[in-house]
Structure 1
Amino acid sequence: MAACSRGLAWPPFDLTTARGAAPPWPRRPAPRRRAAIRCCCAGSDAEPRRRLSRAAAVAPERAEEWRVDGNKPSAAAPGRRRASLTAMPPLPFPAPRPRRQFKQQDFYPRCTQRGPAPQSRDTPPKRDTGIASEKEWGINLLDEAVKESGTNEDGSTWYRESGEDLGENGFRCRWARMGGQSHDGSTEWKETWWEKSDWTGYKELGAEKSGKNAEGDSWWEKWKEVLYQDEWSNLARIERSAEKQAKSGAENAGWYEKWWEKYDAKGWTEKGAHKYGRLNEQSWWERWGEHYDGRGFVLKWTDKWAETDLGTKWGDKWEEKFFAGIGSRQGETWHVSPGGDRWSRTWGEEHFGNGKVHKYGKSTTGESWDLVVDEETYYEAEPHYGWADVVGDSTQLLSIQPLERPPGVFPNIDFSSAPPPKDDPPGMSPSSPLE
């Protein structure tokens, strides 16, 4: 959408719903590069079977979509760990953000004092795109205060303002706000940029935007990255996060996601996401996480489930833990019918680090297995995207200049408090942020 001298031009917002479609399984985006770490004997790279079977892409978004088989799953061969799911069209209304790498000068006219009306690139966020980069947001703050507004030829209005806030301990926040709406208020967009710093070395770069159109569709997105020195380990840390939400104005449909990544200078890494979506009578959830301690230990897990208003429920979850080639994997696939009948299959693997793997499992239909096989052990001992990568991609964050500290004045740091709680996203229950 764009606000220019001739008014607001809004992009198409496709909300065509495939009637009778079942909820999608959101997926994690493919990593920038993936290196399977071999921890035992020589062999070719391989990925552990940790996910549901993939369906062919059936929409421009190429999102993986799933539907539960209405019949009770039949017994499968021992060791099989795939849900009885079929492909379906995706939730159609999110429009993708352009994939090109934006340049800051592309958006400089939006914040040029006494320039033309600001233009918005605020389109509905796309599902399962993770955390955007600094370049994609194109944040460009002015050094002087600006406060402007105006009316376009078609009656739509716009505003633009920027400034700076100061506080204790050398706190400084530079910010810019802009937005606009149609003459009748049926369409609207807002966007805010900011950068923060203080004398402790804390730096923050962020952006937030929202919008709505004449059909009642609305969306919201927030992005942030932070640099600080951990008070307990004395190590530098960088944290990145993104929240996204979109709602349909025509039907009971929408989705919400929160993504986060945390890194420190010794290789400690934590990543995860919580997701929720609804399409009329169907709802689905997904949570996943990864933890690397920087010394070889790795924990990964995924839990995703879905349900309908008629009472059908199904899901799949797994977890793996490894250190020095020794570890375990376990998981469960399950289904509950509207009448309350439950089917499940559980499985597990124990990797001993010597080329031997103990595999076991059972299901409610009577199948079971328990055997030891010769098998190489593969897992990712290090994150595919780590400290060196995030530092290289955070040049704008690192270049934030704090206020000059007067001689003899030192930052006030409180070491008496307990370690800060984990910044976990809110739990995604049926009472989601969309309702």
Structure 2
Amino acid sequence: MSLTTTDRDTGRPPWRDLPPPPRPKAARMGPADVVRVGGSGLRARPMRVFLSALGIAIGIAAMIGVVGISTSSTHDLNQRLAALGTNLLTVSPGESFDGGQAHLPTTSLAMIRDIPEVETVSALGKTSAKVYRNDHVPVAQSGGLRVTAARTDLLAAIGAELTDGTWLNAATSRYPAVVLGSHAAEQLGIHYAGPEVKVWLGDRWFTVVGLLAPNELLPDLDSNAMVGWAVAEEELGFDGYPTSVYTRVEESAVGDVQAKLGATANPEFPNEVDVSRPSDVLAAKEATDDTLSGLLLGLGGVSLLVGGVGVANTMVISVLERRSEIGLRRSLGATRGQIRTQFLAEALLLSALGGIGGVLLGIGVTIAYASYQGMSTVVPVWAMAGGIGATLVIGGLAGFYPALRAARLPPTEALATS
């Protein structure tokens, strides 16, 4: 039939009554297509993408670094406390009723030892003697080093270790023998113990029989020169009153024993006794470090927000620069949803690059710090997952408006500006 032929009844060409051809449907984009199209937009602007991703990476690296360093420090603290023991309690004299210095009774050790939950008890007592490298050093130049009388079971009670020599025993505690703390040995210029190594203590020479390792739980011991209890009473005028009583108790009974130690050590004047737990000092120091970590974490969050603004700025500029591309794609059948998905995918990919880079950078910072401090590296999985998740949320929010703007751009207007 010719197109010019008319129908007998209507007088119109038959082709005018045919239904219009169906509009071609836009091809559906699978996940791989979305990633490919989004990635092509990023590859076209590498420097801008790098700078925007860097802003995200710095924020995430700061957050991962703070969490990782804090977690590594906490893990190291827990290991050290487990090695040193959290069941050590220290009893010391406080102030008397008239404001003077109180004394612990000489029987306080025996009374504390009678508590069923107590495992070990030992003590130190202050003396008025000073220690010098030799007898030619002026009296005024003592260097602030203290001489204390020590019980032979002190080492086991406090969990200290020796770097050289031996600890005081039943024999050496009665003779002029001394064990130096780490700081005292360093200040006196002594690096090893032996019969030929002597220091001037009181009015005579004392042989250095041992050197203590630094004690983190009781750092005051590092500046002490410790002699036997008996020789301190005979040679140094020691009055026999203990000034620090160290008590190891059962882990499950620390709180109960701590509550009654004062009354046990000095039943007559329990209010003149101070009872402390040295491990609490380390825990307090860690709490102080956590405050600083919280501040740094907040700064990391601000950096992440700034990085999100950078992503939004990049995507807005990208939409303005690619109006002709958007108009061409729309004229070829791309739907608004596909345009919106394309630009949103670009924003998410850009943020993901920054997030992954930031996590890797944060882990690297944590490893470097932990290695420098001699600690184990611990980076929680939740922190890494949360870091990447945060970047995706930031990227989604930052890219939503540019993607919506690109999808609403009319094809004719977009092509007219090309």
Q: Give TM class, smaller chain.
A: under 0.3
Greater fraction helix: 2
TM-score (norm 1): 0.19
Look at both structures and tell me which one has the larger radius of gyration over its CA atoms. 2
Q: Which has the higher contact order (CA 8 A, sep 6+)?
A: 2
Greater fraction strand: 1
TM-score (norm 2): 0.19
